[in-house]
Amino acid sequence: MNVEVTPLPGIGTRQDFMIRAGRRVGVVTHRDGKFELIVSHQDDPDGCAASIALTPSEASTLAGLLGSPQLVAHLEEQHREVAGISTKQFPIVPGSRFDGSPLAETELRTRTGASIVAVVRAGSVHPSPRPDFVFAGGDLVVVVGTSDGLTAAAELLGGG
């Protein structure tokens, strides 16, 4: 995918790409930390048909929603030949028990037998997070384990 990055003097940067439908979709990252989701006109790829202002938290949540399914699909493909092993994702709900807590406090492996293999935050994947990795609201935790382990993980993380 060819992502074009365009500096916007005094504003920030625009990063967008052409989708199969012939429109450009992207994000304007403002210097003050705000974001805009943008979509071009169908007949004018350079003209902005719609923009939606997003707070950093909203942008983070959207990025996680868009990026996490691809990561989970990739991991499921890797575990397809391992009978009884599945991959699921669970959100860290803002203000929940583990929002702001290190991964070690979950004791997920000990309690459930399942393992946290990645955390998706703001569209970035943090593979094999260490025990001192601190969760933030909006994170998506990717867990691998048996069906029973994943059910227990869902109950523990509150994202069932």
Q: What percent of the chain has pLDDT over 90?
A: 31
User: The pTM is what?
Assistant: 0.56
Q: Are strands 48-54 and 86-91 parallel, antiparallel or unpaired?
A: unpaired
pLDDT at 123 over 80: no
Domain boundaries, the chain: 4-79, 85-158
Task: Examine the pLDDT at 110 and tell me if it is beyond 90.
Answer: yes
Pick the CATH number of 4-79 from 3.10.450, 3.40.50, 3.90.25, 3.30.70: 3.10.450
pLDDT-derived band at 79, boundaries 50, 70, 90: low
Q: Phi, psi at residue 3, to the nearest 5°?
A: -95, 125
Q: How far apart are CA 125 and CA 74, in angstroms?
A: 13
Q: Domain 85-158 has what CATH class?
A: alpha beta
Is residue 160 pLDDT above 50, yes or no?
A: no
Which range has the top average pLDDT, 10-14, 90-94, 151-155? 151-155
Give the model's pLDDT for residue 61. 76
Residue position matching structure tokens 């991964």? 103
Buried b (16+ CB within 10 A) or exposed e, 117-135: bbbbbbeebeeebeeebeb
- Find the mean pLDDT for residues 57-75: 71
